[in-house]
Amino acid sequence: MTGITRFTRVRSLVVALVGLLIASAVPLLAAARPAAASDNGQSVRPAMGWSSWSFTRRWPTEAKIKAQADALASSGLKNHGFVYVNLDDFWQKCDDNGFVVDSYGRWSVDTAKFPGGIKALADYIHSKGLKFGFYVTPGIAKNAVTRNTPIEGTSYHAKDIADTSKTEKNYNCKNMYYIDYQKPGAQEFVNSWARQFASWGVDYLKIDGVGSHDIPDVQAWDKALRATGRPINFALSNNLAIADAATWRKHANSWRTQGDVECYCGPGDNGSGYPLTDWSHVSSRFNSAASWQPHAGPGGWNDLDSLEIGNGDRVGLTADQRRSHFTLWAMAASPLLLGTDLTDLDPVDKAMLTNDRLIGVNQDGVAAKRIVSSGVKQVWSKKESDGQYVVALFNTGTSGNTTVSVDWSQVGFTGSGDVTDLWSGSHKGVIDDSYSATLRPGETRLIRVKPVNSLKNTAASPGMAVAPGGFRS
């Protein structure tokens, strides 16, 4: 065997081994990346607006929703990016057997609450330069099956697609059967509902009561909403399983990572009224936000639930806790959907909500990682597209001051950092090696750090530039 032949064979063996190693490594690398986001073109950045559930609860009306839309526009919140006005549950009419349905088996509007109908309400909201959000749950109503209503545009009927052996979760009229998506007409039923919503002017649709068993419904609604040709932001609720995160991300623009942020501890029916929440319901989001962080990105966001800021201490949180509430939602890149009464804005809270530095942190398209978690001390960090870092320090406790510290090396660089406080806007100057803050119970410190003479830059999380007209400080 010549030297050339031996060399050729050895080279071939090396190439083959290298190819095998690369092939075996590719799935591992792919698994480390989050699944591709929904490509429906919606929610490139987290949605911002208002949702009816926290404040109006089971008693939404046309007048109440219009008043909140008016306040969203007149308060100036719209000019800071809060544009969705979302009507949640209890817009429907019920009888003793569940939802009253129309001639095609779809829920009927409670005209006592909404005398002008949903399209007229959406038109009014659109006239304010705002967007309209709406609500549904999986399944098909018992009344549709009992009446065996036809499925619009087909020869099929409700009994053809209903699985009456199982009932879907529903929080209002109940009596919702599963849909068997193996049956002809099932997708067409959801399509007809989606077309109706699109014709009414829906810009955002929340599908509630979703569990992993409802993946066929999520897939069907995703397909149906796309087929309408109308841009509709698709949101899933609530307490979704993290094991199915890749599926939620593929089909939806946001997904609720826990149960409700409301405490249901008010004096009214169903725990309605003030307080709307408490610190335990907000602080429980720190752990879930950390767990879900890898799954967030443009087109699909981890939804921490409503932002309960707007009505001062009445909501059940101190001013420090409300700032921490906003800071965590901003760092996690959660949708910012206010749950408070916008017709009675507290001036301290209005200043919080119109702080474009905070909004910019939320809208930069990057979900922060938790880098310190020690008792009541937490630190979160993310790197933005210009090489600067945003760092949040929290005292999550309910008593006693505590000093929270972080080394710049934990953040992602070494050397010195030029620091700006994002809540106050004050420039803190160049600080060497590390940063510390003594925080009151429930208080936060949020800073932007520009590395100065950095020896190395170890963070690998890419940032995302904010679009022209975005809220970047």
| 129, 316, 376, 396 from 400: Cα distances, Å | 45, 19, 10, 10
DSSP notation for 217-244: HHHHHHHHHHHH-S--EEEE-SS--GGG
DSSP notation for 304-328: ---B--SSGGGGS--HHHHHHHHHH
- Angle of CA points 270, 272, 277, to nearest 5°: 110
Structure tokens at 101: 């349905």
| 61, 173, 323, 452 from 117: Cα distances, Å | 11, 19, 38, 58
Whether the upstream peptide bond of residue 270 has omega within 30° of 0, thus cis, is no
Taking the C-alpha atoms of residue 71 and residue 55, their distance in angstroms, rounded to an integer, is 14
* CB-CB contact of 219 with 189 (8 Å): no
* CB-CB contact of 237 with 208 (8 Å): yes
Taking the C-alpha atoms of residue 218 and residue 211, their distance in angstroms, rounded to an integer, is 10
| 170, 278, 307, 309 from 266: Cα distances, Å | 22, 11, 17, 16
Residues annotated as catalytic (active site), given as ranges: 208, 260
Total number of residues shown for the chain: 473
Which residues lie below 8 Å from residue 210, measured CB to CB, with a gap of 6+?
A: 138, 217, 218, 236, 237, 238, 240
Structure tokens at 32: 């480390």
Which residues lie below 8 Å from residue 386, measured CB to CB, with a gap of 6+?
A: 463, 465
